[in-house]
Amino acid sequence: MTWLERLARVFGGRRHGLVRLRDTASLLQAAIAVVAVSAAQSASVWAVGLTVLLAAWAMTRPLPEVASKTSQTLWTLGIVLAIVISGARAFVFGGELLVAGVDFFLLMIVQRLFNRQRSREHMQLLMLGAVLMVIAAVIDAELHYPVLLALYLPVATLALIVNHLLSEGERLGRRVEFEVDRYATRELSRLNRAALQVTMIATAAGLLTFMLFPRFGAGVFLRGNLYGNETVGFSDSVRLGGFGTIKNDATVVMHLLPLDGDQSQTRLTWHLRGSAFDSYAAGSWGRSRDALHGDLISRLGYYMLQEDGQPVGQVIAAPYRFGGTSGKTIEPRRIPGFAGANQTVRVLVTMEDIGTDLLFSAGRPLAFSLAPRGPLEERNRLGLDVDDQVRVLDRQPGPIQYEFVGRIGEPERGELRVIGDPEVPAHLAPYIDRAELSAQFHELALSITANADTRLAKVEAVQGYLLQNYSYSLDQPLSERVRSGELDPIEGFLFDTKAGHCEYFATAMALLLREVDVPTRNVNGFYGAHYNSLGGFYAVRQADAHSWVEVYFDGLGWVTFDPTPPGGRTAGDNASWFPRLANVADALRNAYLAYVIDYNLSDQIEVLEQLGVERQGSNIQINWRQLAPWLIGAAALGLALFMLVFGYRSWRRRGDPSHLEIQIYKKLLAAMQRRERGRHPHESARAWADRLQDQGAPEAAALREFATYYDGLRFAADRPSPAMLLELRQRADAVLASEPR
């Protein structure tokens, strides 16, 4: 008895045989489809919960032989009302059309479960399940979908086969329906194998289609925030206390793949810059109207930033190949007095939909290049916001892939000291704007920098003071004076608790430096990354969210300083309880995204070229030496699968003693055939014995006893014991011992 048959006994109620199996298979395939759309966040939580409750009621209530006209009328009115409500949700109340449609499909599933007397209702259930699985396939880019699909296909195939058998019985009449049910019930193992065989054939055909037929990227329904809530810290304003809530969250938000340089290091220590802020008030950072604005210039596929109205560099050819195409990179403009200005890094980023249209880059961003994975993402455009923040304009939903070139070289201490302590130009006034804080705060800034005679000295004095006198903590303690409103949160950190996380350290440094006229801005992003040796990429987690400051040094530009203690910058390293298992899961998911979700026409062409099939002009050239091993391997694999699936039955019949009763029966048939008293093809064992009795055959009486005993063994719920098989063999011998006339 298979697991599905056992499940049928549990959920099938009083229904019998094949009908009960059909009920269970129909319900199970619909349940898998509902789980798929739920996991894809394409159905309302209340609708899924209501569907589960009503489906349980429908499957446990006594099912009437024929649905009453009253119930049919009520269901029709309910469906019409549901259509009206779904339309109103989508077009009047501003709800999402897809979610409203999926909720309606869930109602249709419930309606079919309550009225599943005939085969057509089950066929409609199968169609609804298939539609929901297609919707989930288009929307869900996660690894759990192929698992659900692997469960769905054999169950849905079995439901389709069983429903087809019963529909033929319904069409041909009650007697045939009974015979079909009786025969199929004792051949359930064949039905299971047939479902598995059809599933494997469909899977093979689907894989072949996937590999060879043109693909054009993500569908129009791909949308939504992957994690449901906007990522803390990446909005138009940031309130102190946000990062602590995600510092222990090991969820991967982006993958980094360096396109040049040495990848053997175990950890990248870049500051991945995202958002910047120039205005502080009452514990929150925001952006003022006077913040520095910029513009992007398009050059050979790159969106390049500008400095002083000039591009930051020039596009040059780079000696590398990635994704089958030759690459280009940016040669940065040289900056006098900055020897490390030409130290850059070029990285391919796959970023999840984390609720922001910002793009992240290492160090100072120089240029960005979008890497669209389909027509939908080709609509994305880039724009430069204030403070060198690069945003995707009218971003399409779902993950995004892009390349950045960032300047990771930092000026040496001597180069920064040469700047001295110059006057702050008028356009940098927003970055020395002092917050409305107490006189004690101003006095603290003056005392810390009392002996500093250059801008660098002031920065180092404040940074050193914070590192020496304050401790890192995720607990976000608030003093009584902050709770009462007497102090600003940053003053509570400096004067009362003296403990906090990166936001407090960065905010304190920025505001203290502004008190002594050092142009400073607060920056949020991520720090570091975690190398995944299985996938060959670097993973950035929510736990790596970080905050730091940038200080302006005239001709050298904005320079990064991080006042957070080193232990607080690497808090995300041990965020996962099972780091190795998390790496495996992340590598599998990355491979699924790269080779399944992102598999497109260019990938197909590259695969065919590797197989030896190449297009030259209008002709297709085939390298048979290169293609032949692949064809032979595919044929061998196909033959092995064929023998495994289709040859399983005969092997089982020969090797499994649980079917010895059939072998005994076949031997008796052959012996009686030699006596010219064989069984007609349409006859059962008992009908055969009755015919021989009418003909006066001496074997008839013994044959009838054999037939009765054989039917009892063959169609019993449990397999026959050795003693029963011995009894059957003795009865067969008794038939053959009868003297023929």
- Domain holding 418, by residue range, is 240-588
Given the structure tokens 């430096």, which residue do they identify? Answer: 513
Cα 147 to Cα 140: distance, rounded to the nearest angstrom? 12
Residue 707 has phi, psi (to 5 degrees) of -60, -45
Q: Please compute the mean of the pLDDT values over residues 185-210 and round it to a whole number.
A: 68
- Is the pLDDT assigned to residue 222 strictly greater than 60? no
Cβ burial 59-75 (10 Å sphere, 16+ → b, else e): beeebeeebeeeeeeeb
Residues 253 and 189 both lie in one domain: no
State mean pLDDT over 386-408: 82
In the predicted structure, residue 571 carries a pLDDT above the cut 50: no
- 307 with 384: CB under 8 angstroms? no
Among residues 588, 606, 634, the one where a domain terminates is 588
Q: What is the pLDDT of residue 95?
A: 62
Total domains, the chain: 3
Return the minimum-mean-pLDDT range out of 195-209, 403-417, 443-457, 557-571: 195-209
Longest dimension (CA), the chain: 129
Verify that 81 and 117 share a domain, yes or no.
Answer: yes
Q: Which residue has the tokens 């390049």?
A: 304
R_g of the chain, CA atoms, integer Å: 36
Whether residues 70 and 155 share a domain: the answer is yes
pLDDT exceeds 70 at position 69: yes
What does residue 534 show for φ and ψ, rounded to 5 degrees? Answer: -70, -40
What does the DSSP assignment read for 99-118? Answer: HHHHHHHHHHHHHHHHT-SS
pLDDT beyond 90 at 549: yes
Top mean-pLDDT range of 164-168, 178-182, 249-253, 418-422 = 418-422
Domain boundary (588, 606, 621) is at 588
d(C-alpha 361, C-alpha 353), whole Å: 16
pLDDT tens, position by position, 408-444:
888 999 999 988 888 988 889 999 999 888 899 999 9
What does pLDDT average to over the chain?
77
pLDDT, residue 517, reads 92
Token look-up 């100072």 returns 364
pLDDT of residue 615: 67
Q: Output 111 or 237, whichever has higher pLDDT.
A: 111
Q: Which helix (H) or strand (E) is 522 found in, with range?
A: strand 520-527
Please answer whether residues 435 and 521 qualify as being in contact, where contact means their C-beta atoms are separated by less than 8 angstroms: no
Shared domain check, 158 and 257 = no
Position 360 scores a pLDDT of: 92
pLDDT at residue 86, as a whole number: 77
**Nearest-5° angle of CA 22, CA 24, CA 30?**
100
Residue 560's pLDDT band, with cuts at 50, 70 and 90, is very high
Q: Check whether residue 436 and residue 566 sit in a common domain.
A: yes
Is 205 in the same domain as 250?
Answer: no
Query: Residue 621 falls within a domain, yes or no?
Result: no
Q: Among all chains, which residue has been given the structure tokens 């070139």? A: 405
Torsions phi, psi for 187 (to 5 deg) = -120, 35
In the three-class reduction of DSSP (H, G, I as helix; E, B as strand; rest coil), residue 316 is classed as: strand
Lowest mean pLDDT among 267-276, 323-332, 346-355, 545-554: 323-332
Task: Look at residue 590 and give its three-state secondary structure.
Answer: helix
Q: What is the DSSP string of 396-464?
A: PSS-EEEEEEEE-----HHHHHTT-SPPPPGGGGGGSPPPS--HHHHHHHHHHTTT--SHHHHHHHHHH
Is residue 319, in this structure, part of any structural domain at all? Answer: yes
pLDDT of residue 594: 67
Same domain, 201 and 296: no
Question: Which residues does 168 contact at the CB level (< 8 Å), separation at least 6?
Answer: 176, 180
Task: State residue 229's pLDDT score.
Answer: 40
Across the strands, what pairs with 558?
552
Question: Cβ distance 397 to 345 under 8 Å?
Answer: no
Residue for token digits 């119930």?
Answer: 71
Per-residue pLDDT at 550 exceeds 90: yes
pLDDT of amino acid 224: 40
Tallying the residues shown for the chain, one arrives at: 741
Nearest to 346 by CA among 273, 272, 275, 407: 407
At CA 449, angle to CA 447 and CA 452, rounded to 5?
Answer: 140
pLDDT of residue 53: 92
In a domain, 614, yes or no: no
Residue where one domain finishes, among candidates 588, 621, 646: 588
Does any domain span residue 650?
no
What is the Cβ-side half-sphere exposure of residue 71, based on CA atoms within 13 angstroms?
10
Q: Report whether pLDDT(521) > 70.
A: yes
Q: Is residue 636 in a domain?
A: no
Q: Where are the alpha helices (DSSP H) in 556-684?
A: 566-569, 579-592, 601-611, 624-646, 648-655, 660-674
Give me the helices (H) in 478-518, please.
Answer: 480-483, 489-492, 502-515
Cα separation, 209 vs 599, in Å, equals 12
| Most confident range, picked from 340-354, 371-385, 419-433 | 419-433
What burial class does residue 123 get, using C-beta atoms within 10 Å of its C-beta: 0-12 exposed, 13-18 middle, 19+ buried? Answer: middle
* 466 and 580 part of one domain: yes
Which residue matches tokens 């961003």? Answer: 365
Handedness of CA 166, 171, 173, 175 (dihedral sign): negative
Specify the pairing of strand 252-258 against strand 279-281: unpaired
Are residues 200 and 249 part of one domain? no
In which residue are the tokens 């920098």 written? 449
Side chain identity at 315, as an amino acid letter? Answer: V
The answer on 539 and 419 residing in a single domain is yes
How far apart, in whole angstroms, are the C-alpha atoms of residue 460 and residue 548? 14
Q: How far is CA 171 from the centre of its chain?
A: 44
**Residue 4 and residue 20: Cα distance in Å, rounded?**
11
pLDDT of residue 460: 93
Decide if 629 is inside a domain.
no
Residue 347: C-alpha distances to residues 362, 365, 369 (Å)? 9, 12, 10
CA distance 389 to 374: 25
Structural domain contains residue 597: no
The rounded distance, in Å, linking the Cα atoms of 561 and 466 is 12
pTM: 0.63
pLDDT at 43: 85
Report the alpha-carbon distance of residue 458 to residue 417 in Å, rounded.
11
Average confidence (pLDDT) over 284-292: 86
pLDDT score for 655: 44
Indicate the helix (H) or strand (E) that contains 132.
Answer: helix 119-139
Measured CA to CA, the distance from residue 180 to residue 649 in angstroms comes to 22
Residue 488's contacts (CB-CB under 8 Å, 6 or more residues apart) are 282, 283, 435, 437, 438, 482
Name, of 115-124, 348-357, 459-468, 672-681, the range with top average pLDDT: 459-468
- Answer yes or no: do 121 and 258 share one domain: no
Is residue 688 within 8 A of residue 703, CB to CB? The reply is yes
Output the pLDDT for position 616: 67
What's the pLDDT at 737?
85
Please check whether residues 265 and 203 belong to one and the same domain.
no
Measured between alpha carbons, how far is 359 from 299 in angstroms, rounded to an integer?
18
In a domain, 358, yes or no: yes
pLDDT at 103: 87
pLDDT at position 646 is 56
User: What is residue 523's three-state secondary structure?
Assistant: strand
Q: For residue 217, what pLDDT is reported?
A: 46
Residues 6 or more apart in contact with residue 151 via CB below 8 angstroms: 32
